[in-house]
Amino acid sequence: MNLDAMKPAPVMDTVRFESEPPGAEAKTSTGQTCRTPCALALPVNSPLTVSFTLNGYQPETETIEPIAMTGSPNELRPNPVIVELTPAPPPPKQVKKPAPPKKKPAAKPAAKPAAARAKPAAPAPMSAAPQQAPAPWPATPPQR
């Protein structure tokens, strides 16, 4: 005969969970989950932890402790559990490294630009020297 079946069910307390902003997932150390705002019936026999998670926010964890009350069953405190979630820092910006310059395939040497190939222009003509007056004697001696 299994004696576990004879044990009384654990005493439960309903705990309310709230978060700012609402919509966080509250997950207890007993495995129960809900979306805030919500409430769960939890056993009061030992301390529990509750983790709150929401995309874009840092996770938060709270501890719930059983409190012995004279003449009544234990209760869990705090109740309600209220957390304010902190926005997660933005992911670090990835600094893009400049792409290395692309290597050109080894081919024929590049043709020189047309201006470099052209011969330099002839210097501007100088003004013509004034013509000389004919010499007073003949340029060639007369033949005899």
- Residue-wise pLDDT for 74-124, tens only, equals 899 999 999 999 998 887 777 676 666 666 666 665 556 555 555 666 666
Convert the pLDDT of each residue in 48-61 to its tens digit: 999 999 999 999 99
Residue 17 pLDDT more than 90?
yes
Cα R_g (the chain), whole angstroms: 49
Q: What is each CA distance from 55 to 25, 26, 50, 59, in whole angstroms?
A: 10, 13, 17, 9
Contact 80, 16 (CB under 8 A): yes
Give the domain ranges of the chain: 9-83
Averaged pLDDT score across all residues of the chain: 80
Mean pLDDT of 4-33: 90
Phi, psi of 14 (to 5 degrees): -90, 125
Confidence bin at 70 (pLDDT 50/70/90): confident
